[in-house]
Structure formats: C-alpha cells, structure tokens
Structure 1
Amino acid sequence: MHKFIYINTFLLILNFCSAQNKFGNPEVDPIQIQKSYTEWSVYQNKKIMLSRDFTALDSSSKEISKEAFLDQLANGNFIPIRLKSDNSTYYYKLFKILPKTDTSIKATINQIGFDSYKNYKMEGTVFPKFSFKDLNGNLVTNESMKGKIIVIKCWYIHCTPCIKEFPQVNKLVEEYKDRKDIVFMSLAEDSPEQLKTFLARKPLSYSVIPDMKEYMNESLQLNSFPTHFILNKEGLISKVLPNFESLEVALAKESKL
C-alpha cells in the first residue's frame, strides 16, 4: 500500500516538473522578486509587456487564454513572471503572491491587470466616432482616415511619463516618414494656447488635437496616461498600449500586415 502511494506521489512530482520545464524556467526567482517593491517594479516595467502577444500559463503551467490571464492579474493574488526562452517567444506564467509580500505589490498588479484587461477587450472594436481639428486647423474624421494605419497618443501637459517619451515617439515618426499610409496624431487635454506655448519648448512630431479631455474620459474611458492606440486600415482598434516600448513593438507588427 505504501509503495503504491510513493509511486503515485513520485509520478505527480514528475508530471509537475515536466510541465514546469516544457516552457522553460522562470527568468527570475518568483520568491526573491517579491521581497522588495522596488526590485519587483523595475522587473515588471522592463520585462513584462502585457499588451504584446504571449503564451499565457496559469500557476500550474497550464496554457490559458490571455483574457483569463489578465482577469486573474486584475482580481487574483498572482504576479506574472516571464519564462526563459528565445527573444522572439514570450511565455508569461502566474506565480502566487506570498502572504508576507508587500501589499503594495498586489495592489499595483491588480491595477495593472485591470487596465490591461480593459485595453485587451477594446481590441477589434470600432474606435469611437470622431471629428477633430488639430492645432493647424486640419480636420480629421473617421472617414478621412479610412485606409490608413492611425497611431494615436493620448496625453496632457502635466503628465511626466507622457512628456518623457517625446524623443522616442518623435524618432518613431521619423522612422516611418516614408509610409504615407501611417498617420501619427495625438489627443491632448489642454487648450490650444497652453499647447502652443508648451510645444514651442517641447516639440512633438504628431499632429496635436486640443481640448480632448471630455472625449478621452467619456468616449475612450481612459484613466491612465500616456495611452497609445493603433487603428488598422478598417478603423478598428488593433492595440491599446501603455508606453512607447509596447507601441514600438506593436507598430512594427501592424506595419507589415
């Protein structure tokens, strides 16, 4: 009887280890990374890009949908860790948050998960109807943008992360300058006068549309800035992204479709 129990236990452990190793081992120690909010935050910001395409694994290494993965981050008690793999393949796995872990880590992950889940659910939907005039008086509408890939940056003057990425997004515009089918525009909360004064000191290569606070709050329901949208040539939302790094990866993919 005991021999039977030992064999079964051994087989369970063997199966668990096989499931763990099938996709690779964690690139960081899931226990160690939870010991410091700062250390976890640096890892999260640099290594975990929830807007990208990835293979999602639950805590037992079972493949799950991206939607289920993000839902567990938003409402559960998990941290996401990337498993070791080549640079072009992404496996993210859920690991339990330990009882003694700083509660700020869980709260932050829940918020990140909530925002990522909301963004993911917007993909494939029609971008809300718009008719905007930019700072130069050019009219932009859903109809006028059909047949083009549209890159939209949502921001405001006093958003430090929004301004910090200006050099990077300006470089992106330069990189795609020969692509007449790609349009870069930005929605800003601020007034035309405020924006003209600010942009004289901090240039932005996107076309800039002022007074967009109500539209971003009500039509887009944004609660995090910057937020970037990529719209495909049919006017559908291809990606909703939280930072330049995510945008660069997603636009490279969309531009080749």
Structure 2
Amino acid sequence: MKKSFIILITFLVSTLSFSQTKFGNPEVDPIQIQKTYPEWSVYQNKKIMLSRDFTALDEASKEISKEVFLDKLANENYIPIRLKSEESAYVYKLFKISPKTDTSIKATINQIGFDAYKNYKMEGTAFPQFSFKDLDGNLVTNESMKGKIIVIKCWYIHCTPCIREFPQVNKLVSAYKDRKDIVFMSLAEDSAEQLKTFLARKPLLYSVIPDMKEYMNNALQLNSFPTHFILNKEGMIAKVLPNFESLEVALAKESKM
C-alpha cells in the first residue's frame, strides 16, 4: 500500500512538472520589461498580437480561453508575455504587473485588452447592413459583396497611424491584385471633397467611401482607429484587427480557406 502511494505521488508530481514545462520560458524577463514605458511599448507592439490565434495561459500556466485571457487583460492587473516556442506557434502567458510599474503601462494594457476583447466578440457575427457609394460612384452592398472576401479599413484624414500605414496597405492590395474574390474598401469619416483633395497627395488603393462617421460610430461602435475588418465569403466578420501587421497575417490565412 505504501509503495503504491509513493508511485502515485511520483506520478502526480511528474505530471504537474510536465504541465508547467511543456511551454517554453518567457522570451523576455517579465519584470525587466516593465521598467520603462518605451521599453514595454516596443515589446508590446512588435511581439504581442492579440488578434491572432494563440495559446492563452493564466498566471499559473494553465490553459484558458482567449476570451478569458483578453477579459483579464482588460479588467485586471496583468501583462502578456510570449513564451519561447517554434516560430509558427504563439503562446502568451499572463504575468502580474509589478506594484512599482509605471501606471501608464497598466492603463494602456487595460485599454489594449478592452479593444481586443471587443474586437474578438465581434468575430463570427454578421457585418451590419450597408449600402454605400464610393468616391467613383460605385454602389456596394452586403448582397453585391456576397461570395467575396472583403477587407475594410476604417480611418479618417487626421488619424496619424491610419495614414502612416498607407504604403503598407497599398502594397497588400498589389500583392492580391490577381485575386478577383478579394475586395479592398475603406470607410472614412471625412467628406468626399476633403478626401479627394487629401488622396491626390496621399493615394490609397482601396475604394474609398466618404461620410462614414455615423455608421462607424453607431453600427460598428468603433472607438479606435485604424480598425480593419476581414469579412468571409458569407458576409460574416472573420477578423477585427488594430493595425496592418495583424491584417497581413490574418488575410494570408483567410485567403487560403
């Protein structure tokens, strides 16, 4: 009986050890990365992409759902860190934010988590009804876009991050120019006259739909720009994304489905 008990304890310890080590170590020191806002911000922007598919771990290295992970980021006191893994595998773990950490880091993480959670909850739902005319007078509706993958960029003229990614999104349009089943369109807050003047200086290869502020505020409930949507061929929201980097990754995946 005693021997069996020892074997059982050994098995449980080895199982627990495996569960804690089957994922790699943090790729950066979770405490050190919190030392300054600029250092953390560079890491966050380059290494943490909450819109992608990833394995989510809580503070105790237990697997949790992406929804729970994002909710904790939005409402609690955690910083996400990627664990070392194969290049194509993404494992993010929650670590407690140090009491001495700059409060602006926590506030920014909460906001990033809130936006990511909101975006995640939109995925898998139908894109709101629309009937728009672009700057060239072309009418686009939910029905006319059925059977196509639609990439939507939401922006406005005075949004610096929106404009900064123009060269990248233009390059993306060019990369998919032979895919007749992929459509790129943008919703802009500004008037047609303002957009024509602006785009003459800074071209955008998307079709551009003006006067979309009310639609983006009410139908899409956006509070962060740029925001990108990928709609699948059934008109459902496949992904909601905060920047070009995450858009490029998600479109590559969706285009192969």
**Which residue is equivalent to 1:124?**
124
Distance 1:177 1:19, change over 3 A: same
Post-superposition CA distance 1:11-48 (Å, at most 9, x none): 99977754442110000000100111110010000000
**Which residue is equivalent to 2:48?**
48
Alignment partners' CA distance in 2, 1:217 and 1:227? 12
Distance 1:163 1:203, change over 3 A: same
Alignment partners' CA distance in 2, 1:44 and 1:11? 38
**Which residue is equivalent to 1:136?**
136
Distance 1:13 1:31, change over 3 A: farther
Unaligned segments of structure 1, at least 5 residues = 1-9
Alignment partners' CA distance in 2, 1:107 and 1:81? 17
**Which residue is equivalent to 1:3?**
none
How far residue 63 of structure 1 moved from its aligned partner, in angstroms, is 0.3
Report 1:47-86 matches (<5 A).
47-86=47-86
Alignment partners' CA distance in 2, 1:17 and 1:224? 42
**Which residue is equivalent to 2:230?**
230
> Aligned AA for 2:78?
F
Report 1:86-97 matches (<5 A).
86-97=86-97
**Which residue is equivalent to 1:165?**
165
**Which residue is equivalent to 1:21?**
21
Residue 203 of structure 1 pairs with residue 194 of structure 2? no
Alignment partners' CA distance in 1, 2:198 and 2:87? 39
How far residue 75 of structure 1 moved from its aligned partner, in angstroms, is 0.5
Alignment partners' CA distance in 2, 1:217 and 1:74? 21
Distance 1:182 1:124, change over 3 A: same
**Which residue is equivalent to 1:4?**
none
**Which residue is equivalent to 1:108?**
108
How far residue 86 of structure 1 moved from its aligned partner, in angstroms, is 1.1
**Which residue is equivalent to 2:3?**
none
Alignment partners' CA distance in 1, 2:16 and 2:72? 21
> Aligned AA for 1:150?
I
Alignment partners' CA distance in 2, 1:252 and 1:201? 29
**Which residue is equivalent to 2:4?**
none
> Aligned AA for 2:105?
I
Distance 1:201 1:234, change over 3 A: same
Distance 1:247 1:105, change over 3 A: same
> Aligned AA for 1:176?
Y
Q: What's the TM-score, normalizing by structure 2?
A: 0.94
Alignment partners' CA distance in 1, 2:46 and 2:213? 29
Alignment partners' CA distance in 1, 2:105 and 2:205? 36
Identity of aligned residues (%): 85
Post-superposition CA distance 1:162-218 (Å, at most 9, x none): 000000000000000000000000000000000000000000000000000000000
Alignment partners' CA distance in 2, 1:86 and 1:114? 28
- Secondary structure of the 1:247 match is helix
Post-superposition CA distance 1:140-168 (Å, at most 9, x none): 00000000000000000000000000000
RMSD after superposition: 1.5
Alignment partners' CA distance in 1, 2:113 and 2:65? 14
Alignment partners' CA distance in 2, 1:84 and 1:242? 24
Post-superposition CA distance 1:37-68 (Å, at most 9, x none): 11001000000000000000000000000000
Unaligned segments of structure 2, at least 5 residues = 1-9
Alignment partners' CA distance in 1, 2:185 and 2:99? 45
Alignment partners' CA distance in 2, 1:145 and 1:51? 24
Q: What's the TM-score, normalizing by structure 1?
A: 0.94
Alignment partners' CA distance in 1, 2:13 and 2:163? 50
